[in-house]
Amino acid sequence: MIHFLKASLHEGLLNIREKLGSFLVTLLMVSLSFMVFDIFLVVSWNVGTVLSDEQESVGIELFLREDISEVEAVNLADLISVMEGVRSVYYVSSLEAEAVFRADLPEQADLLILLGPQFHLPSSIQISLHPDYRTSGKVSGLARTVSGMDGVKDVVYGQEYLPGLTSAVDMMGKLVVLAGLVLAISLSLIVANTVRLAVAKRALTVEIMSIVGAPGWFVRMPFLGEGLVTGIIGSAGSLLLTGVISSILSSSIPHDFLPGKWILLVLLLGASAGAAGSWIGMRSGIPKPRS
């Protein structure tokens, strides 16, 4: 079996050696079209990070009436903590709120003194949500429910930007998938075409191999390998080029490069589109043996 595979590999190399020029041109084409996708990915990754940081902080803030005692407030917090979609609740007493205010805005600490000793910041309950509940529909639903509860003065959540944020994150994901799909299809077609040409050029070899008893997979493997290698090297090349561009630009436009998982995904996309392409190319290229 090992000799089998070696011989098959040898055939693949013969394949590539015979038309090194056109192989390199194909690689470049694949790399460049992949690069457009990579750049798009880098942009979406960075925008996505910002957006999801925003979304991470999506929660509900519940301001309580002054006449609510600490015990009542804690009871209320316990009640909310078992509601659907709530990850955790945290009770912030009036004193705590003032301490936070002083720490966060030291220059404006005088304001509190100015307002007099009878003024207190309201106590509040901070609700953080399960990731699934950080969408505008669910947050506002939950906000409505808690706002009707006894002792609640006011409910604040990201009413303003939340709907936009949710759909922006959604849109981003859809765009990436769409771009990946378009890229995979066009890459498959590029590879299919070169494989079809390769098969046509080696029609006699293919026929003779089949006539002298080569199994079907042995005849196909070199072409499949060519597509696979084109896809993998092409996408790896594009990542390299994009990485270089990214590091050149990183001083003027601060951003992150793609995380390892995404890089792997790009390579996987390249490999599968390459394999699919050679399969398409072979289907239309490899003739039944005739003599």
Partner 1 sequence: MLISFQNVSRFYNDWPALENIELTVEPGEFLVISGPSGAGKTTLFRLIWMGDLPTSGLVEVSGYRSDRIRKGDLSSLRRKLGIVFQDFRLLSERTVFDNVALPLQVAGYSPRAVRKRVFSLLAEMELNHRRSSYPHELSGGEQQRVAIARAMVAHPVILLADEPTGNLDPDVSKHVIELLLEINRTGTAVILATHDPRQIPAGTARYLYLDRGHLANPVSWDGYNQL
Contact residues toward partner 1 (CB under 8 A) are: 1, 3-4, 6-7, 10, 14, 18, 204-205, 207-216, 218, 288-291
Question: Smallest gap, in angstroms, from Cβ of residue 214 to partner 1?
Answer: 4
**Strands ordered across the beta sheet of 86-92:** 86-92, 124-129, 59-64, 152-157
- What is the number of other CB atoms lying within 10 angstroms of the CB of residue 33? 18
Question: Smallest gap, in angstroms, from Cβ of residue 279 to partner 1?
Answer: 16
In the complex with partner 1, the residue whose CB is nearer, 82 or 204, is 204
In the complex with partner 1, the residue whose CB is nearer, 58 or 221, is 221
- Phi, psi torsion values for 67, nearest 5 degrees: -80, 5
In the complex with partner 1, the residue whose CB is nearer, 17 or 261, is 17
Question: Smallest gap, in angstroms, from Cβ of residue 216 to partner 1?
Answer: 6
CA distances from 163 to 83, 155, 157, 224, 279 (A): 22, 17, 11, 47, 44
CA separation for the pair 268, 5 (Å, rounded)? 23
CA separation for the pair 244, 236 (Å, rounded)? 12
In the complex with partner 1, the residue whose CB is nearer, 6 or 87, is 6
| Residue in the structure block whose two tokens are 């990201």 | 158
Question: Smallest gap, in angstroms, from Cβ of residue 208 to partner 1?
Answer: 6
Question: Smallest gap, in angstroms, from Cβ of residue 284 to partner 1?
Answer: 18
CA separation for the pair 141, 155 (Å, rounded)? 12
In the complex with partner 1, the residue whose CB is nearer, 113 or 204, is 204
The DSSP H or E segment spanning 124 is strand 124-129
